[in-house]
Structure 1
Amino acid sequence: MKRRTFIASAIGAIGGISACAWSGNDRLHSGAALAFGTTISISVVHDDADLAQRAIADGLMAAQAVDRLMSIYNPASQVYLLNRDGMVLRPDARLLEVLKQAAQLSQMSDGAFDVTVQPLWRLYSESAARGGLPSVAERRRAQALVGWRQLEIDDAIIRFRRPDMALTLNGLAQGYAADQALAAIQAHGIRHALLDTGEFVARGRKSRRHPWILGVRDPRDAGALAATLYAQGCSVATSGDYECTFTPDYRHHHIFDPTAGDSPDELASVTVLAPNALLADGLSTAFMVMGWDRASALAAKLPAIDLMSIDKQGREKRSAGFPSDV
């Protein structure tokens, strides 16, 4: 579904329990599950192995529940039903929360973030399957179906105001899943954790002497890192032009500028640090569309938001508060 753009070098053994001495009986415990078409994982530090594993299981289940609710592919999900029927009655409170946040992101980004770009993604995917790109007329028809203000969001009903619209929560669901998983493990008293749902949440530390460490991949070399960061008390998300491409030159990809009906052409990737993963996830998409100048100006107005961008020529820029490399 989305961006496996970090290497979580501190995450430990996938799917099992690993030990890392901290103090007393504290150990690092890890678990993994499938969601969003990939492997998600949680690592926690605690002295009670049974409690740690219960917390991990609850966190993974919380993330999987978000996937089931918001998948565009699962016929049982409310997003699937909304795209099929144009409306969904008695929407789940979690879906309402995410869509209301989406509307706020659209407002603050002047429409750069828009969950209704799914018709454009569908058009480009179908055209790529035929070995080409859509015509100008096809693009304009799809673009006419995009518009976040045409999505009615109410506690009793969510519906499109125009026929044939569709949405995707690919720019929010994984971040929200990380936040939901964090709440689930914190309910068990867990204070030190690293969560990976495709977006990352870090709380506390891996050990007394070692913080959690994340690596940002180079957008043009999957085996190389563009940055290596200490992650403490923050959420981190990256959007890039390399995860789902329609042309080998990375010009056309899965992120769309609603005003152009095509992919933005300035940046190759954007990494965002934010207080929660939902916001980091959404802003990383919005900033890809906005480009460095507009993105950095918006970030400067928002509390605890920092970003690093890499443009198509490989040039890197960081906001003043973005951490330096480890």
Structure 2
Amino acid sequence: MLRRKFLAASFGTMASAMAPASIQCNGQLFTGAALAFGTTVSVSVVHDDQRQAVAAIRDALDQATRIDRLMSIYNPASQVFQLNRDGVLEQPDPHLLLVLRQAHALSELTRGAFDITVQPLWQAYRAAADQSALPTPQQRRRAKLRMGWRRLAFSSERVSLGKPGAAITLNGLAQGYAADLAMAAVHARGIEHALLDTGEFSAHGNNGAQHPWTLGLLHPRDADALAAVIRPGARCVATSGDYASTFTPDFSHHHIFDPATGDSPTELASVTVVAPTALLADGLSTAFMVMGARKAHALAKTLPAVDLMTINKRGVVWRSPAFPTAA
């Protein structure tokens, strides 16, 4: 699930990767990490009670790893894996249902630019890449015939993909939802100052030095440069780009697909979304990549507390007026 290149610069330096569920303390700043979503997820909290801080971090990491186990497309024990294998799923988990409802709402909002049923396209590109090739137009057409977010049916009793060979991916939502649940777990322990990184970021309060959490956004074409430094406040951040998982060296074919064309969108190199929830930021960052800059910025204007930064393939940067760039 290597969807994003994102740098957490929350307290001046990048946090080092730690062993699963490890916790470290630096004064009143406590950090912990675990493996989930194919990467390292981390939790940083500021609190004067070590016992509560450690408990909050463990609770948050438990939430993140739980969502990974539930929604992974690779783990045979996950409900999403079982749904893709069988075409139907009985007695879906309430968390899965909530994310499916959000996916449906985003598909309606974006007129299909966001579509969790694009997994057959990923499978076609992955199979072709194993032969150092791209899918043929015929292979893309066959994959598109298995897609369609309107065919996906779900209720508290059953989920159905609606067509043989169909499959979903929640890679554009699961990490954001995990960040939201993890932050709720931290708040439940009475902790106000926290930064969570599940691949999407959720920030509240400050970093222990009475300064707001600060995030550096890597440039989509220069891994040693920052495109922006931001202070999201009590909002969440997600970045999608054409560089994290590519099928061609020129970034023209990558892991994000336009459901209408069966290929990767052509305009943007990256999109960063700041939104009230990580689930929303996660989904919108993918949808906006597909929609392109003009439509993305127009839609963002209609959504409360949503800001974005787009960078196109020529390097042109466009920020919404309230995008929280650090001074």
**TM-score normalised over the length of structure 1:** 0.96
- Secondary structure at 2:292 match in 1: helix
Structure 2: which 5+ runs fail to align?
Answer: none
Number of equivalent positions: 320
Cα drift, residue 166 of structure 1: 0.2
Answer yes or no: is 1:19 the counterpart of 2:26: yes
Counterpart contact for 2:4–2:241, Cα < 8 Å: no
Q: Which one-letter code corresponds to 1:92 in the other structure?
A: D
**1:177-200 CA distance string (max 9 Å, x none):** 000101111110111100000000
1:77-126 per-position Cα deviation (integer Å, ceiling 9, x unaligned): 00000000001000000000000000000000000000000000010111
Partner residue in 2 for 1:94: 95
What letter is aligned with 1:248? P
Match for 1:295: what amino acid?
A
Q: Which residue number corresponds to residue 228 of structure 2?
A: 227
CA distances 1:145-191 after superposition (whole Å, capped 9, x unpaired): 11100100111100111111000000000000000101111110111
Secondary structure at the aligned position of 1:301 is classed as coil
Deviation per residue, 1:282-309 (Å, 9 max, x gap): 0000000000111011111110111000
Letter of the 2:324 counterpart: P
- Provide runs of 4+ in structure 1 moved above 3 Å: 11-16
Q: Which amino acid aligns with 1:163?
A: P
Aligned residues of 2:4 and 2:240 also touching (Cα < 8 A): no
Cα distance in 2 between the residues matched to 1:269 and 1:201: 19
Contact 1:112–1:258 (CA<8 Å) still a contact in 2? yes
Question: Which secondary structure does the structure 2 equivalent of 1:225 belong to?
Answer: strand
Q: Distance in 2 between matches of 1:210 and 1:4?
A: 26
> Equivalents in 2 of 1:121, 1:208: separation in Å?
44
* Distance in 2 separating the partners of 1:99 and 1:107: 12
Cα distance, 1:320 vs. partner?
Answer: 1.2
The offset of 1:5, in angstroms, is 2.3
- Percent of pairs identical after alignment? 58
Q: How does 1:1-326 map to 2 (within 5 A)?
A: 1-10=1-10, 12=15, 14=18, 15-20=22-27, 27-207=28-208, 209-326=210-327
1:10 maps to amino acid: S
Aligned-partner Cα distance in 2 for 1:3–1:135 = 24
Contact 2:103-2:115 at 8 Å conserved across structures: yes
For 1:43 and 1:224, how far apart are their aligned partners in 2? 24
Q: 1:19: Cα distance to partner? A: 2.2
Q: How far off is 1:223 after superposition?
A: 1.8
Looking at structure 1, the residues matched to 69 and 24 of structure 2 have their Cα atoms a distance apart, in angstroms, of 26
8 Å CA contact retained: 2:23, 2:30: yes
AA aligned to 2:139 is: E
Task: Give the C-alpha shift of residue 214 in structure 1.
Answer: 0.2
In structure 1, what is the Cα distance between the partners aligned to 2:123 and 2:3? 18
Contact 1:105 1:113 in 2 (8 A): yes
Residue 70 of structure 2 aligns to which amino acid in structure 1?
Answer: L
Q: TM-score, normalised by structure 2?
A: 0.96
Unmatched 5+ stretches in structure 1: 21-26
